[in-house]
Amino acid sequence: EAANSVAELKAASMHSELVKSILRLSMDKNDESRKQVVDLIASLCVRAAIEATDVEAGVELILKQLSDILLDVPKAKEYVAHFVAHFIDDRILPEEFLKSVPEMSGAEVGKSVVELVNGLMKLPLQVTITKQKIREIVQEYFVSDDLQETEARLTELKAGRLGHEVVKRVLVEALEKKNRERERASVLLSALTRDYGTEQFFEGFTKVLRSIDDLALDTPNVAEVLGNFIARAIVDDVLPPVFLDLVPERVGVSERGGHVVAHVKGLLEQHSSTRIMNVWGTGAKESVDELKDSVKTLVEEYFVEGELNEAVRCVQELEAPFFGHEVVKRIVYLGVERGGDGLGQSQKLVKALLDSGSLQKSQLTMGMGRVVMGLSDLSLDVPDAQTRFDSLTDMFIADGTLPSSFKAHTAAIRA
């Protein structure tokens, strides 16, 4: 609401004056109110309602008037020191800002403020301690995979308004990891909706978006990965559907920011919620039962829709090459059950999977062996299952999918 109000003012040239006024008013309030003001200004920066340069200019105005303010607020030096320390810790103010403080506030007062700031920075600040603990808890989560314990530790931390730091840390840590860990990150973010409000998630995701160029140095495909996280968060009700409309314009128009926005819109417009729920690949969910269900669903959809390339892509997204035998078994079973054109569909899909490198020869042999072992049961529902399977085997041998020696292999299995 505050960000919208600032935007409605349409007075960017007055933002530094706004920062000065907010900080000055907070000096007449209690410690909690001053902390809220610092958080508010930091949030306005995250949302690009104001710029870091506006904060710097606003603080400079306070420093230049500090001697006069001290007449009414004896503890003004301590308050200003806290403001500066927090803004430096949040990287809103550069560390070299301290060098100019004596010039702005006068040698004696300025020196005192600098000493106070340095003292606070050495403590370190509570916000710094909390951020470090957040980092440790999140890193340990990716090792332990203990969702309940991680959520409990973060709750005990009472990060409160620093919830956006938790969100940011989860995303940043997950960017460089594999899809299995990214799935865990999405699950954790969903669980944290019990502890943090929408605002914290909005700011956390926006902070990562604003850092996308730096993150690209270690994660070249950061736009795609972050886009996946955003789309998944929207489907999980972690972020509101209008998130992209609320993202600061200057973030969305940057090259990589634009790629993120386009990727998210593409996912939301072209794919179902179920598909986006599996954006990290069904294999990332680890459960064998879940993998079996996914294989069953994608194969059934292929036989109904006939979309060969889509079926191959879905198998690739499973990221479970060790599960290829289940894919083969399901394809052959359905082909045998349907007979006729169904056998041709089975042949085409298995060959396409082999040609694309999505299926290993060893997995094909294992899967076919499992079908042979289960033919007696299948024959209870499909009396001529054996005949249909033999026909499909001949088709596989004819197109080079299987070696001619496979028939001898099946005979040995049956024996």
d(CA 340, CA 355): 24
What 309-312 contacts at long range (C-beta under 8 Å, 24+ apart), as own/partner pairs, is 309/352, 311/349, 311/352, 312/349, 312/352, 312/353, 312/356, 312/358
CB-neighbour burial class of residue 106 (10 A; exposed 0-12, middle 13-18, buried 19+): middle
What stretches in the chain show pLDDT beneath 50? none
Find, among 389, 391, 367, 363, the residue nearest to 378 by Cα: 389
Exposure string for 32-63, b = 16+ CB within 10 A, e = fewer: eebbebbbebbbbbbbbbbbeebbbebbbbbb
Instruction: Find where tokens 């007062």 sit.
Output: 109
d(CA 28, CA 14): 22
- The residue length of the chain stands at 415
Answer yes or no: are the C-beta atoms of 284 and 183 closer than 8 Å.
Answer: yes
CA 150 to chain centroid, in Å, comes to 17
d(CA 318, CA 333): 20
Please provide the DSSP assignment of 130-157 as one string. HHHHHHHHHHHHHHH--HHHHHHHHHHH
The 3-state DSSP class for residue 325 equals helix
Phi, psi of 38 (to 5 degrees): -60, -45
Answer yes or no: are the C-beta atoms of 401 and 364 closer than 8 Å.
Answer: yes
Query: What pLDDT is stored for residue 384 in this prediction?
Result: 92
List pLDDT tens digits, range 199-215: 889 989 998 998 898 99
CA 344 to chain centroid, in Å, comes to 40
Query: What pLDDT is stored for residue 128 in this prediction?
Result: 77
Please provide the DSSP assignment of 327-391 as one string. HHHHHHHHHHHH-THHHHHHHHHHHHHHHTTSS-HHHHHHHHHHHHHHHHHHHHH-TTHHHHHHH
Q: Terminal CA-to-CA distance of the chain, rounded, Å?
A: 75
CB-neighbour burial class of residue 148 (10 A; exposed 0-12, middle 13-18, buried 19+): exposed
Find, among 6, 81, 83, the residue nearest to 51 by Cα: 6
Query: What pLDDT is stored for residue 111 in this prediction?
Result: 93
Instruction: Using the Cα atoms of residue 350, residue 352, residue 354 and residue 356 in order, give the sign of their dihedral.
Output: negative
Query: What pLDDT is stored for residue 64 in this prediction?
Result: 94
List pLDDT tens digits, range 241-289: 889 888 766 665 578 888 999 999 999 888 777 778 888 876 555 556 6
